[in-house]
Amino acid sequence: MGTVRGPGRIATLALACLVVAGCGTTRTEPPDTAVEPPPPATGENAVTISPFEDPGDGRDEPVEPSRAVFPAEDPQGLLDLAAQHPDGKVAYETMLDGQAGELVVIRAGTAGVVAVSRDDRTVRVGVDLEEASILWVCVTEGAGEARCRNEDKDDAGSSALATAALLVGEDRVRQIATRVTAAPDANLEVEARAGGVDASCLTGTSPGIGDLRVCVSPSGFVTDTEEGPTRAVAYEVTDVVDPLALQPTKAPT
């Protein structure tokens, strides 16, 4: 929380290093397509696509401490903020493929939960972030009772994780930020989002796509993503996690 600051400046719109420390000088061109469909589910309980960062990227070297600074001074600074992946809960109103829905992303240490609600159906997925695996999946249809399993039956959990990543994952943040680099009206400033939470917001417009926006809080919560008609807007952001929120809706079978 805090006072909303005035317009920030974009020191450079070249996104040289998008994820890790160590920058180059090559400009990253915007992708050709606005929204790619979620990749096919793996059929296994491995988390290959999710809104959380990859828990192990194959590197043996220790990860450098985050250099994120708020407010972000340039697009890379905003990406640094988004790479922090703090513990907490964010609840979003979403629009994907012309269909409204809700998304909840929760993280507490090595435990994570994603809940995707669309078309009167809610899929909740429990994730072990250390092992990069799905622990349980609960599916609720309408007012019916939740069906919870210890396996990803019919790939419902994998699909929910892919949907969440498509809306608020690090790749989505990177894609939108990259598109803004080509926008003539690109702007970076601090705005009050999600009921008063300050966030660095990178905005612009793109011909044929429409409005672009990505906002990240000081601790790394992605509060907003927008790419034309596809968007996720947080209405709740908190760093407090109820332990019960990490549990399945009912005992899985």
- Domain for residue 97, yes or no? yes
- Domain for residue 10, yes or no? no
Could you tell me the CA-to-CA distances from 54 to 23, 46, 193 in Å, in that order? 20, 12, 27
CATH number, domain of 119, equals 2.50.20
pLDDT tens profile 104-147: 999 999 999 999 999 999 999 999 999 899 999 999 999 889 99
- Domain for residue 16, yes or no? no
- Domain for residue 212, yes or no? yes
pTM over 0.85: no
- Domain for residue 59, yes or no? no
Domain that holds residue 94: 75-246
- Domain for residue 54, yes or no? no
Could you tell me the CA-to-CA distances from 214 to 12, 183, 226 in Å, in that order? 17, 14, 6
Take residue 161 and report the two structure tokens written for it. 């994780």
Say if residue 85's pLDDT is above 70.
yes
- Domain for residue 34, yes or no? no
- Domain for residue 251, yes or no? no
Number of domains in the chain: 1
Predicted confidence at residue 64, as pLDDT, reads 56
Say if residue 216's pLDDT is above 50.
yes
Could you tell me the CA-to-CA distances from 189 to 17, 52, 252 in Å, in that order? 21, 25, 45
Take residue 229 and report the two structure tokens written for it. 């008609």
pLDDT tens profile 152-190: 988 999 999 999 999 999 999 999 999 998 899 999 999
